[in-house]
C-alpha cells in the first residue's frame, strides 16, 4: 500500500502496528489522517477488518473515517468504527442480559432526562428553586461519571437533608429508567463498563476479537471510557491512541487529561510519535494560536511548524456593542464571499456559548447570507420529531412509559391529564406498563367514548407495527405511524403556516431515515429500527454538520473540534464570556478555556478574525466588558495593523488527505431536474401516504409481487389477515395485510 502521501513521522505511526502507540501531536498535524491510513495499512497487511476497533468523537467522524478507509482498501465488513457511546450500545445490545436489561431497551436523551427529573421534583414536592432540574441532572451525571450509584453518593456525603433530597431523586430516577427499560447517556458507558468488568468471559470475547484498537481525540476520554478501552486492549496491547493535550476541552464533562499524559505509565512499552508539521493553517494563524497556548503550564511542550507561508495577518476588531459585532461579521462575510472561487461554506463563526448565536443569525439573515446552525435547538428536540421518535420507540419497547405518556394525546385523542393520571395509577397498582394497561379491552372501554375509539385505533396501529417490525423498512414504519396514528392529518387540518413547517420538518426527518437506510445498504448491513433509534440517541450537534451545504456555519467552539474552515470568526473575546466568569476563578478553569481558544483558532486555514464587543447583553443582562485575557496574551506583531482584510481562497491545502470535514474539496452539484410546477412538499406528503396505505390490493396465490424490503417473490397463500410470500431471496414470509409494502408486478 502506498503511504507516500504521508510524511516520515506519519508513515512511522501508520506502520507501527504491534504494541502500544501514542501519537501526540498538535492541531492540524494529520493525526486523524494518520489514524485512517493506519487502519488501511493494517487491512492491506492482511489483518481482518473484523479485528479492528476505531473510536472517534462523533458519528460523523466515524462515517468519514470508514469512507476514507474503504476508498483506500475496499469494503471493510465487520470493522467497528464508532463513538464510545455507539460502541457501548453495541456491547450492551449483544449482552443486555448481563446488564440486567430486556433486549429492547431504549436510550433516553437529555430531553427525556429533563422530563423525568421534573416529574420527580413534582412527585416528591421538592422546592425547584433550591433544587432546579438542571442542577440535579448535573449532579446525577457527575456521579455516574465517577461510577457512583445513589447509595455510594449518600455515603460520600454528610447525610444532610440536602444530600438526602439529591439521593432520593437520583434513586427514583434510576428506578424509573429501569422500569421503562431505558438507559440515559451516562448509563450507556457505565453499564458497558460493568458488563465487561464483571463478566470475564464477555470481556475475553472482545479482547480476542479486537486485536487492533485505536482511539482518536484521546485527550477527551473520561475515566469510564478510559477503563473500557484499557480492559479491551489488555490482551493484545495493540492500542494506538491519538491526541493533543492542548486540545482537551471536555474536563467539565469528566474528560481526564491525565489519560493522555499518563499513557506511557499505563503502557510502559509504549512508543511515542510526535507529529510536528501542520498542514492546515497558515503561519500567522499557527503562531497566534501558539502564543496563547504557551501560557498553559501543565502541558507537554511542543511547537508546530508549517511549510505554508505566513498568510494574512490576524484581524482583531473591537466593536461598540454585540449587535455591531454581529453586523461586522456579516459584513465581512459579505465582502469576502465576493472573491472568486469562494463559497459560503468557507466561513465559520465559532462562539463560546449558544446564547451568542441569535445576533449572528439576525445579521446574516438581513444580508440574505445562508447559514446552518449546529447548536442550540437541535433537530431531534423539535416537538414533532420528538413525538415521532417516541412513536418509533414504542414500537421497539412497549415498556417505554415516558414515550407513551408523551404521545397518547398527540394528536388529540381526548386523554386529558385526569384520565392519564387514572391510567397511570392503574398501571402502577397492577405493576404493568402503560402500554400493557391500555392493551386490556376493559380499560379501553372504560375511557370516555371519543377517547375509547381513538386510543384503540392507535393501539392497533402500534401493535401491528410491533408485530411486523422485522418485515418493514424503518421508513415504512415511519410512514405508517405518521399516517395511521392521525398525526399527519391533525397537522394538515390545522392548516396554519406553523403546522406546514412542522410537516416539512417531519418529511425532513424522513430524508434522514433514508440516509440511514442508504448508508446501511452501502455497508451491506441491516437497517433495523433499533439501530436507527440508537443513531438518533447518540448523534451530536456536529453530526448534522454538512461541509458542502453552501452555507456559513455557526457553532460553538466545542462542536468544532476536529473540523477545519478556510475562514474562522471568533466573536466575544471578552473576560467573563471567554474565558467565562466561572472559569476565571481557578487556574484549571482558565487553562481549559485557553485550550478551547487554541482549538478555535486552529480550525482556521487561511484567515482568522477575533472580535469583541464593548457592551454586551447576555441572558437579558447588559454589561460593559473588558477584552479577553487571551487577547492580551496574543502576539501583537501578528495582528493586522489597519484592520482591512482581503481574502483570496488559495486552495493551498487542497485536502489531499482530507479526513476531517470542513475542507472545501467538493462543491454541491447542480440540483436534479424538477418539473416546472413541482411542489416538493405535496409530492413528499403523497408518497408518505401511498407507502402507508400498504397493499390495498387483493392478492391471490401465484401473484408475482415486490416488497419494499425483501424484493421479488410469489404469493403462496392468502387468508383474511395475511399474505404469505415466497421471496426469491430471504425465504418465505407471512405478512400482515394493510401494512406490508407489497405490490403486484
Q: Which residues of this protein are in contact with ligand ATP, per CB under 6 A?
A: 5-7, 10, 25, 27-33, 244, 247, 279-280, 562, 564, 653, 655-660, 663
Residue 18 annotated in active site: no
Which of Mg ion, ligand ATP, none sits in contact with 325, Cβ below 5 to 8 A by type? none
What cell was used for 217? 481525540
Minimum gap (Å) between residue 216 Cβ and ligand ATP: 7
Under 8 Å between Cβ of 331 and 659: no
Q: How far apart are CA 705 and CA 737, in angstroms?
A: 13
Residue in the structure block whose three cell numbers are 440574505: 368
Cβ proximity to ligand ATP: between 28 and 579 the closer is 28
Q: Measure CA 469 to chain center.
A: 25
Cβ proximity to ligand ATP: between 486 and 658 the closer is 658
Cβ proximity to ligand ATP: between 660 and 703 the closer is 660
Question: Which of 34, 83, 227, 247 is an active site residue?
Answer: 247
Which of Mg ion, ligand ATP, none sits in contact with 461, Cβ below 5 to 8 A by type? none
Closest CB to Mg ion belongs to which residue?
32
Question: Which of 9, 145, 216, 703 is an active site residue?
Answer: 216
Q: Is 460 exposed, middle or buried, given 0-12, 13-18 or 19+ CB atoms closer than 10 A?
A: exposed
What cell was used for 5? 502521501
Using CA atoms, how far residue 42 sits from 49, 213, 332, in Å, is: 8, 11, 46
Minimum gap (Å) between residue 75 Cβ and ligand ATP: 23
Minimum gap (Å) between residue 247 Cβ and ligand ATP: 6
567, β-bridge pairs: 347, 607
What cell was used for 258? 491525565
Cβ proximity to Mg ion: between 28 and 311 the closer is 28
Under 8 Å between Cβ of 656 and 604: no
Q: How far apart are CA 384 and CA 724, in angstroms?
A: 35
Cβ proximity to ligand ATP: between 244 and 531 the closer is 244
Cβ proximity to ligand ATP: between 25 and 315 the closer is 25
Q: Residue 508's CB: how many other CB atoms inside 10 A?
A: 14
Helix (H, G, I), strand (E, B) or coil at 743: strand
User: Nearest Cα to 239, choosing from 30, 3, 49, 55?
Assistant: 55
Under 8 Å between Cβ of 145 and 254: yes
Interacting residues toward Mg ion by CB under 5 A: 31-32, 562
Which of Mg ion, ligand ATP, none sits in contact with 107, Cβ below 5 to 8 A by type? none
Cβ proximity to ligand ATP: between 29 and 104 the closer is 29
Cβ proximity to ligand ATP: between 6 and 140 the closer is 6
Minimum gap (Å) between residue 347 Cβ and ligand ATP: 17
Which of ligand ATP, Mg ion, none sits in contact with 655, Cβ below 5 to 8 A by type? ligand ATP
Question: Which of 217, 387, 593, 606 is an active site residue?
Answer: 217
Question: Which of 32, 56, 629, 653 is an active site residue?
Answer: 32
Minimum gap (Å) between residue 603 Cβ and ligand ATP: 7
Minimum gap (Å) between residue 604 Cβ and ligand ATP: 11
Using CA atoms, how far residue 560 sits from 189, 257, 306, 372, 628, in Å, is: 23, 19, 22, 13, 20
Cβ proximity to ligand ATP: between 37 and 473 the closer is 37
Minimum gap (Å) between residue 35 Cβ and ligand ATP: 8
Q: How far apart are CA 509 and CA 488, in angstroms?
A: 13
Q: How far apart are CA 13 and CA 570, in angstroms?
A: 33
Question: Which of 352, 413, 603, 605 is an active site residue?
Answer: 603
What cell was used for 201? 468471559
Residue 519 annotated in active site: no
Q: How far apart are CA 278 and CA 564, in angstroms?
A: 13
Minimum gap (Å) between residue 31 Cβ and Mg ion: 5
Residue 400 annotated in active site: no
25, β-bridge pairs: 275
Minimum gap (Å) between residue 428 Cβ and ligand ATP: 50
Helix (H, G, I), strand (E, B) or coil at 106: strand
Which of Mg ion, ligand ATP, none sits in contact with 657, Cβ below 5 to 8 A by type? ligand ATP
Residue 129 annotated in active site: no
Q: How far apart are CA 104 and CA 393, in angstroms?
A: 9
Which of Mg ion, ligand ATP, none sits in contact with 394, Cβ below 5 to 8 A by type? none
DSSP 630-661: HHHHS-GGGB-SS----------STTSS--SS
Classify the C-alpha dihedral 412-413-417-420 as positive or negative.
negative
Cβ proximity to Mg ion: between 601 and 613 the closer is 601
Residue 56 annotated in active site: no
Cβ proximity to Mg ion: between 32 and 540 the closer is 32
Going by their DSSP bridges, the two strands 621-624 and 604-618 should be labelled as: antiparallel
Residue in the structure block whose three cell numbers are 507529529: 275
Q: How far apart are CA 727 and CA 704, in angstroms?
A: 10
Closest CB to ligand ATP belongs to which residue?
30
Going by their DSSP bridges, the two strands 347-351 and 552-556 should be labelled as: parallel
What cell was used for 167? 439521593
Question: Which of 9, 31, 225, 539 is an active site residue?
Answer: 31
Q: Is 31 exposed, middle or buried, given 0-12, 13-18 or 19+ CB atoms closer than 10 A?
A: buried
711, β-bridge pairs: 707
Q: How far apart are CA 596 and CA 401, in angstroms?
A: 40
Minimum gap (Å) between residue 454 Cβ and ligand ATP: 52
Cβ proximity to ligand ATP: between 29 and 227 the closer is 29
Angle, in degrees to the nearest 10, between helices 161-179 and 133-145? 80
Using CA atoms, how far residue 259 sits from 242, 252, 265, in Å, is: 11, 15, 10
Which of Mg ion, ligand ATP, none sits in contact with 386, Cβ below 5 to 8 A by type? none
Which of ligand ATP, Mg ion, none sits in contact with 244, Cβ below 5 to 8 A by type? ligand ATP
Under 8 Å between Cβ of 447 and 416: no
Q: How far apart are CA 308 and CA 429, in angstroms?
A: 71
Residue 271 annotated in active site: no
Minimum gap (Å) between residue 353 Cβ and Mg ion: 24
Helices (H), ranges, 312-448: 322-336, 357-366, 383-396, 401-407, 417-430, 434-438, 441-446
Minimum gap (Å) between residue 311 Cβ and ligand ATP: 15
Q: Which residues are catalytic?
A: 31-32, 216-217, 247, 603
Amino acid at each position: 500500500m502506498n503511504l507516500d502521501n504521508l510524511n516520515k513521522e506519519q508513515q512511522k505511526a501508520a506502520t507501527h502496528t504491534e504494541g502500544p502507540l501514542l501519537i501526540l501531536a498538535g492541531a492540524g498535524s494529520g493525526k486523524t489522517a494518520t489514524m485512517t491510513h493506519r487502519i488501511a495499512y493494517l487491512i492491506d497487511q492482511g489483518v481482518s477488518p473484523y479485528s479492528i476497533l476505531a473510536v472517534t468523537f462523533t458519528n460523523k467522524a466515524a462515517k468519514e473515517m470508514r469512507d476514507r478507509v474503504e476508498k483506500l482498501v475496499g469494503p471493510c465488513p465487520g470493522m467497528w468504527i464508532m463513538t464510545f457511546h455507539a460502541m457501548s450500545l453495541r456491547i450492551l445490545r449483544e449482552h443486555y442480559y448481563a446488564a440486567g436489561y430486556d433486549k429492547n431497551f431504549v436510550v433516553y436523551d437529555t430531553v427525556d432526562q429533563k422530563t423525568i427529573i421534573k416529574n420527580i421534583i413534582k412527585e416528591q414536592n421538592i422546592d425547584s428553586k433550591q433544587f432546579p432540574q438542571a442542577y440535579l441532572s448535573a449532579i446525577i451525571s457527575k456521579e455516574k461519571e465517577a461510577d457512583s450509584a445513589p447509595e455510594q453518593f449518600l455515603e460520600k456525603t454528610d447525610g444532610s437533608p440536602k444530600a438526602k433530597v439529591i439521593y432520593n431523586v437520583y434513586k427514583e430516577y434510576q428506578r424509573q429508567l429501569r422500569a421503562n427499560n431505558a438507559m440515559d447517556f451516562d448509563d450507556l458507558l457505565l453499564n458497558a463498563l460493568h458488563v465487561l468488568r464483571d463478566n470475564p468471559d464477555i470481556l475475553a470475547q472482545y479482547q480476542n476479537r479486537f486485536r487492533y484498537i485505536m482511539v482518536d481525540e484521546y485527550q477527551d476520554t473520561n475515566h469510564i471510557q478510559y477503563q473500557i478501552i484499557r480492559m479491551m486492549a489488555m490482551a493484545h496491547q495493540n492500542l494506538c491512541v491519538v491526541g493533543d493535550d492542548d486540545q482537551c476541552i471536555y474536563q467539565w464533562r469528566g474528560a481526564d487529561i491525565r489519560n493522555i499524559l499518563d499513557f506511557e505509565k499505563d503502557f510502559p512499552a509504549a512508543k511515542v510519535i510526535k507529529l510536528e508539521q501542520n498542514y492546515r493553517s497558515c503561519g500567522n494563524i499557527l503562531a497566534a494560536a501558539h502564543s496563547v497556548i504557551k501560557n498553559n503550564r501543565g502541558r507537554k511542550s511542543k511547537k508546530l511548524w508549517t511549510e505554508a507561508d505566513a498568510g494574512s495577518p490576524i484581524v482583531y476588531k473591537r466593536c461598540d456593542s454585540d449587535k455591531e459585532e454581529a453586523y461586522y461579521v456579516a459584513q465581512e462575510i459579505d465582502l469576502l464571499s465576493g472573491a472568486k472561487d469562494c463559497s459560503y461554506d468557507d466561513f465559520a463563526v465559532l462562539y463560546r456559548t449558544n446564547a451568542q448565536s441569535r445576533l449572528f443569525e439576525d445579521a446574516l439573515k438581513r444580508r440574505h447570507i445562508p447559514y446552518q446552525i449546529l447548536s442550540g435547538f437541535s433537530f431531534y428536540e423539535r416537538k414533532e420529531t420528538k413525538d415521532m421518535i417516541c412513536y418509533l420507540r414504542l414500537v421497539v419497547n412497549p415498556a417505554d412509559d415516558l414515550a407513551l405518556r408523551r404521545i397518547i394525546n398527540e394528536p388529540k385523542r381526548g386523554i386529558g391529564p385526569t384520565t392519564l393520571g387514572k391510567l397511570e395509577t392503574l398501571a402502577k397498582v397492577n405493576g404493568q406498563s402503560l402500554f400493557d394497561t391500555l392493551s386490556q379491552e376493559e380499560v379501553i372501554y372504560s375511557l370516555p367514548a371519543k377517547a375509547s375509539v381513538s386510543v384503540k385505533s392507535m393501539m392497533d396501529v402500534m401493535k401491528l407495527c410491533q408485530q411486523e417490525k422485522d418485515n418493514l423498512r424503518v421508513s415504512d414504519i415511519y410512514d405508517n405511524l405518521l399516517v395511521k396514528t392521525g398525526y399527519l392529518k391533525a397537522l394538515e387540518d390545522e392548516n396554519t403556516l406553523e403546522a406546514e413547517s412542522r410537516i416539512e420538518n417531519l418529511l425532513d426527518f424522513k430524508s434522514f431515515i433514508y440516509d440511514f437506510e442508504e448508508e446501511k445498504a452501502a455497508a451491506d448491513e441491516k437497517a433495523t429500527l433499533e439501530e436507527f433509534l440508537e443513531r438518533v440517541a447518540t448523534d451530536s450537534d456536529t453530526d448534522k454538520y454538512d461541509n458542502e451545504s453552501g452555507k456559513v456555519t455557526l457553532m460553538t467552539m466545542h462542536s468544532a473540534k476536529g473540523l477545519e474552515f478556510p475562514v474562522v470568526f471568533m466573536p466575544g473575546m471578552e473576560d467573563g464570556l471567554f474565558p467565562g466568569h466561572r472559569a476565571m476563578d481557578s487556574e484549571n478553569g482558565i487553562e481549559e478555556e485557553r485550550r478551547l481558544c487554541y482549538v478555535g483558532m486552529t480550525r482556521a486555514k487561511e484567515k482568522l478574525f477575533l472580535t469583541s464587543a464593548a457592551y454586551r447583553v447576555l441572558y437579558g443582562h447588559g454589561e460593559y466588558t473588558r477584552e479577553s485575557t487571551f487577547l492580551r496574551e496574543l502576539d501583537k506583531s501578528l495582528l493586522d495593523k489597519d484592520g482591512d482584510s482581503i481574502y483570496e481562497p488559495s486552495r493551498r491545502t487542497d485536502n489531499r488527505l482530507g479526513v476531517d470535514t470542513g475542507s472545501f474539496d467538493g462543491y454541491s452539484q447542480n440540483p436534479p431536474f424538477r418539473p416546472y410546477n413541482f411542489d416538493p412538499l405535496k409530492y413528499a406528503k403523497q408518497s408518505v401516504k401511498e407507502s402507508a396505505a400498504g397493499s390495498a390490493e387483493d392478492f391471490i396465490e401465484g401473484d408475482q409481487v415486490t416488497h419494499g424490503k425483501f424484493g421479488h417473490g410469489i404469493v403462496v397463500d392468502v387468508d383474511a389477515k395475511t399474505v404469505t410470500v415466497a421471496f426469491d431471496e430471504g425465504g418465505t414470509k407471512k405478512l400482515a395485510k394493510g401494512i406490508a409494502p407489497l405490490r403486484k408486478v
